[in-house]
Structure 1
């Protein structure tokens, strides 16, 4: 058959879709916690109305008493089995306990209940033979009470154990609580779920929903000023010294002192990232440069980070002299006296910087702009509520019994708070229906949601438990593009770029609502600096920011990986866009064409002027002539006309404002038409895996430089897109403010003589530095908060 006659495969649909889920009514959710504390505002009380209600039968097994001993062993190793139709859940067994305590909760989905009877068995664990039956309690499903919010948790009761005939002739009692509730119940996250009955051992903890909090990060600034009495190991020679400072896995060093002297002077700032609680030590060593490849240690200093001063603003920090431990002395008492008598000293100024925001994510997708010190925080301006409903059409990520399967869970990150839904076992269309809440301190921030396949369940194929969790896709939503008090219910495509090309892994259905608590504070933020004040008073260099951001992401990944269940390294790195700064021909093309698209407006204006010049539309040309003569005769009308024109354009564009939040755009990212060779380069390791040493050095250098160029090009595109965003209504509040400003400016310039406007503008621009502030100006703050299309980049 001719290949030309074969039908082409259907093109993937990468568009955002509207959904109409059956959301629940406003019913409270207990235990909701925001990113910075418990939400106490009446408007901020979380309600579980952004998800579909899912009813569960909950069984809380608390404890038992007076259990009969086994006639053979003389003791009892009891455990409880909860049975509902074909579903069975078991507690852990306790050895030699007549009065055991379990305090475990079991949850059975109401949709899957096919029995009218709930049975609770108490059994005695027997390793050799069959487990012995001790007693049971039977409940009629029609008589199970329903817990109605805001009722308190149902109190457990003692039930007398019965034999298999239903007679209360068995010794012992068991304390139980049985009720019908929803996923808003506080028992839901810790409960054993019937649909995950195949998971055992350590895998049970990894399927539960959890809320994580990022560690509190600080900048540790070490100002190495000078040293005194530095003695090299070889007597009679002057040392050429440098200082090295190590904190955990981070190590920085000062420049080599230009002169050989026993009193070297450096006065350099070395900045590190540390996290509370401070577990690492600050280790400073002074070394003598013996040869270009060899440095000898001549002194050492070890300090506790907890002893350093915490600085919240730009006030100076006091410096101190510290005695160095001599290197090379023995352990004899005489040597110790000699060491103390001729001890070297180092002059340091060390502090913990709390006035900065420690960046642990890409600056393009920042989700928190507050400084580290809680004393500098302001009141939240809004509440973000996200209902993680379900996913549709997921791709099989692994195989079991020769059958494709996916064990999916979703992770959401905003500010310091990370959330993880429970893992839905063996489903390509999982339904989570979990709702989470965050406090919002700045609307110009981004929430990131990612879907992953759980590969640490312990019950899958051989070797699966050691594999990293697979990426299914990611979604980013900028809060400033959301209208307040509106529920957005959309299905977002989950796109992943693989070595074989772009692939749609499914769709994620979300319900999002952004509630404003103070419109005045929100408007004020648009004229406030984007980052805390210290970033402008004592800014970091570009190289410092790159290094500090990498260290912050590393620390966050390590700390979250130590939680139970752990939020693994591959998940944290994917959510924080660790690889976003790496060179990619595809990203460079995308950023280049973003810039090209910015000039499309200027090109359209040029073509329009050409049409006017060539009289293609005589009426328009005559009107332009009239306007031209008016502006020539009355030049004071030029600026009012320009602002009035922008005001009219802004009002006109309101009709065409975006109705949905932006999503991943494969066309903008050049992910659909990418060349296979470019993908091979993008997924190449860094450093490159090429065998030739010279080629590796040159290739890595090229990629590093190109990555910087790529970032600059992206920043230029971002600035241009922000300029377009002034009148595009992507951020309705910002465009509204600018349109009002244009109207006011047009009015003021109309009634004010042009000479006075020029004089005032010139005097303001030429004002004395004493009257200037180091902080960015109001127009600059407003412009930096405008949205760009960077949120849509893959």
Structure 2
């Protein structure tokens, strides 16, 4: 077998494109579609009919409407035994692909073998009016039906016909001619939709103690613990050390709850009689609608709740009176941010409570243009095919484009908007194959395979600029790296308040309570899995549903899984950041060895001047950084970051490394001892991978101060260096040293638990984590 040919250098790289976007429509220009190529559609809205005649055979009428334009044909659903049906369906035909000049609307009867025509209405395509937003919707009109000879017959049809574009309100609910092969209820799975994530809350239950427990055996001391059930999730407290009738725990249990609160909270006090036997000493069902919400940092008060107890006497269940009580503090916490994504790729950092939201700083506009070179994912009629659609997620808003049926180069040209509250956020766009376009029975159990995704960090975008690029869709599989095509996007970040944008860089990254009362790593990991599960469940109940595998892929549920490849890549990131210090030492070693006498004499003279005049050290330092940042400006990145296959060690990953990375957890390898050691090693190595990744991220953020990766942050830092250089030049050096030392050694009462301005600024700087695969 010949060796696998190595792809070219730009095979996996980002490519700038020049699509025809931002223009006005041909008729009545509008500004709603500034990031996509405008496409014109012929829209036909079939509203209802009256006075349809019954057929001569059955004496009834089962009408439906059929539309014909050239080679395209669309049909409505039919009504049984109805002379006055109401359809209210919209059909959209791509105008550029229409071959006919006449729109033929036929009303047919389902009872006849050949679906005999009851009547028809004809429209010349040249006479159809145009309607573009912000124009109001076109009012439907009544049309008398006529036969093939143009003679009026019984019955009237209400409809509207117009030419519009993809910004039309009817676009997302219409049956599209591009999906003509899909019929019935499956048409809904092809339409573009907008989803909103439910608001997530932390449900906090602080267990204090219980009173007057009544175990079945009064002669033994109960080993009591509390079991909390919310939906399908069960949490247990530790067994109380007070083995008496009034146990105490002083322990907190946390759930993630989503609005509307459908599932109640069930609390029960259990007695661990033996290792395999438990006895319920009392339970209480608490509707979450009755639980108090915390909108501000002050803590909530405690309360006592009565626990009910039931005993079985014969075949009857009876309630025991005067049951025990449970002492606790319970509330829905809205002052924290509920994580549903990895922190590095989070698209929303706000607290749950709207009262704690910052001011809006801008608007994000995304144009999903098209894809090219998509591979066949499934077989249909003996040939490979793909039914591609895109999903984009930012903040609480998810969007799903139209599914392009049987198309390896789909063209969407759909535009969406989001409000932006923090530039240190990421928008994620994924491409999927729609596996739910067959019959209802054939759709069962199928998954929508992922084709690839793109992540764009807003802080790397210049405000007001439109970025148009072709993003390679890169996936890593067991047999190596694969390119699944290219996704063409247009992105624009518009700043609505420059003051709020600049102020954001000085604010804490997360809500205040994450620093005053931080959650542990174990808690965050558990709660994030809960949030992901809830979002997948809620979005899976929409119409059409956003599938569980789609939600999990967009939220990077396997981000913390151990990978030797990622570990090597993170170590290399650290070495790249430290390479500057190594290069400086090598340069200084050459100076010290007099390899270049002129340079050595110059550095020596400069050193003597600095020692004689120490007040010039800090101005020189800040001015040097300022000059370095200015010199880096022409070399600043012009394109948003994307997956870097070399940085990720994905191109040359060994087969053994990939086999380990894609291995299940727990491992599927044989040998119990090997399996246990292997899993333990992977668990420890996963934590080390995160530590090295965090270290690399911090070093890369420092490096990003003058790299212009975040143009606003670099400009702010350079201005600070310029002002600081002038300030330290004016103020005597000794006073600066005294003030700095006094500030560092200030009394603890003068300190605050929240991060300082420099820390907040540094945490918002971009790192190369965005380019990790």
Q: TM-score, normalised by structure 2?
A: 0.97
1:203 aligned residue: 186
Kept in 1: contact 2:48–2:87 (CA 8 A): yes
User: Equivalent residue of 1:389, what SS?
Assistant: strand
User: Equivalent residue of 2:423, what SS?
Assistant: coil
1:218 aligned residue: 201
- Flag structure 1 segments of 5+ consecutive residues without an equivalent: 31-44
Write out per-residue CA displacement over residues 557-610 of structure 1, whole angstroms, 9 at most, x where no aligned residue. Answer: 110011000000111011000001111111111111111111111111111112
2:246 aligned residue: 263
1:693 aligned residue: 672
Over 3 Å counting, the alpha-carbon distance change for 1:292 and 1:153 in structure 2 is same
* Equivalent runs, 1:407-422 vs 2, <5 Å: 407-422=387-402
Q: Distance in 2 between matches of 1:691 and 1:620?
A: 64
Kept in 2: contact 1:726–1:738 (CA 8 A): yes
Over 3 Å counting, the alpha-carbon distance change for 1:11 and 1:767 in structure 2 is closer
User: Equivalent residue of 2:304, what SS?
Assistant: strand
* Equivalent runs, 1:569-718 vs 2, <5 Å: 569-718=548-697
Over 3 Å counting, the alpha-carbon distance change for 1:52 and 1:257 in structure 2 is same
Q: Distance in 1 between matches of 2:420 and 2:462?
A: 14
- The question of 1:242 aligning with 2:204 is answered no
Q: Distance in 1 between matches of 2:680 and 2:292?
A: 40
Write out per-residue CA displacement over residues 243-294 of structure 1, whole angstroms, 9 at most, x where no aligned residue. Answer: 1212112222222222321111111111110000001111112122333444
* Equivalent runs, 1:498-509 vs 2, <5 Å: 498-509=477-488
1:447 aligned residue: 427
* Equivalent runs, 1:141-290 vs 2, <5 Å: 141-168=125-152, 170-290=153-273
Deviation, 1:692, is: 3.2
Deviation, 1:46, is: 6.9
Deviation, 1:12, is: 7.0
Q: Distance in 1 between matches of 2:42 and 2:644?
A: 42
- The question of 1:22 aligning with 2:2 is answered no
Write out per-residue CA displacement over residues 761-780 of structure 1, whole angstroms, 9 at most, x where no aligned residue. Answer: 11111212221112111111
Kept in 2: contact 1:313–1:534 (CA 8 A): no
Q: Distance in 2 between matches of 1:742 and 1:194?
A: 59
* Equivalent runs, 1:44-83 vs 2, <5 Å: 47-83=32-68
- In the alignment, which of 311, 317, 321 is matched to residue 340 of structure 1? 321
- The question of 1:426 aligning with 2:406 is answered yes
Q: Distance in 2 between matches of 1:334 and 1:105?
A: 56
User: Equivalent residue of 1:514, what SS?
Assistant: strand
User: Equivalent residue of 1:418, what SS?
Assistant: strand
- The question of 1:761 aligning with 2:731 is answered no
2:339 aligned residue: 359
Deviation, 1:331, is: 8.4
- The question of 1:732 aligning with 2:715 is answered no
User: Equivalent residue of 2:53, what SS?
Assistant: coil
Q: Distance in 2 between matches of 1:527 and 1:687?
A: 43
1:40 aligned residue: none
* Equivalent runs, 1:341-420 vs 2, <5 Å: 341=322, 343-420=323-400
User: Equivalent residue of 1:579, what SS?
Assistant: coil
- In the alignment, which of 464, 469, 477 is matched to residue 485 of structure 1? 464
Over 3 Å counting, the alpha-carbon distance change for 1:26 and 1:725 in structure 2 is farther
Q: Distance in 1 between matches of 2:523 and 2:405?
A: 44
Q: Distance in 1 between matches of 2:204 and 2:416?
A: 36
Write out per-residue CA displacement over residues 139-178 of structure 1, whole angstroms, 9 at most, x where no aligned residue. Answer: 111111111443211111111111011222x111111111
Over 3 Å counting, the alpha-carbon distance change for 1:135 and 1:111 in structure 2 is same
- In the alignment, which of 72, 76, 87 is matched to residue 102 of structure 1? 87
1:135 aligned residue: 119
- Flag structure 2 segments of 5+ consecutive residues without an equivalent: none
Q: Distance in 2 between matches of 1:334 and 1:292?
A: 26
Q: Distance in 1 between matches of 2:587 and 2:10?
A: 37
User: Equivalent residue of 1:189, what SS?
Assistant: helix
Write out per-residue CA displacement over residues 203-242 of structure 1, whole angstroms, 9 at most, x where no aligned residue. Answer: 2111100000001100000000001112222121111221
User: Equivalent residue of 1:61, what SS?
Assistant: strand
Write out per-residue CA displacement over residues 442-480 of structure 1, whole angstroms, 9 at most, x where no aligned residue. Answer: 1110000000111111069x9576321111110000000
Q: Distance in 2 between matches of 1:430 and 1:382?
A: 30
- The question of 1:559 aligning with 2:538 is answered yes
1:316 aligned residue: 299
Deviation, 1:329, is: 6.0
Deviation, 1:740, is: 1.0
User: Equivalent residue of 2:637, what SS?
Assistant: coil
- CA RMSD of superposed structures (Å): 2.2
Q: TM-score, normalised by structure 1?
A: 0.94
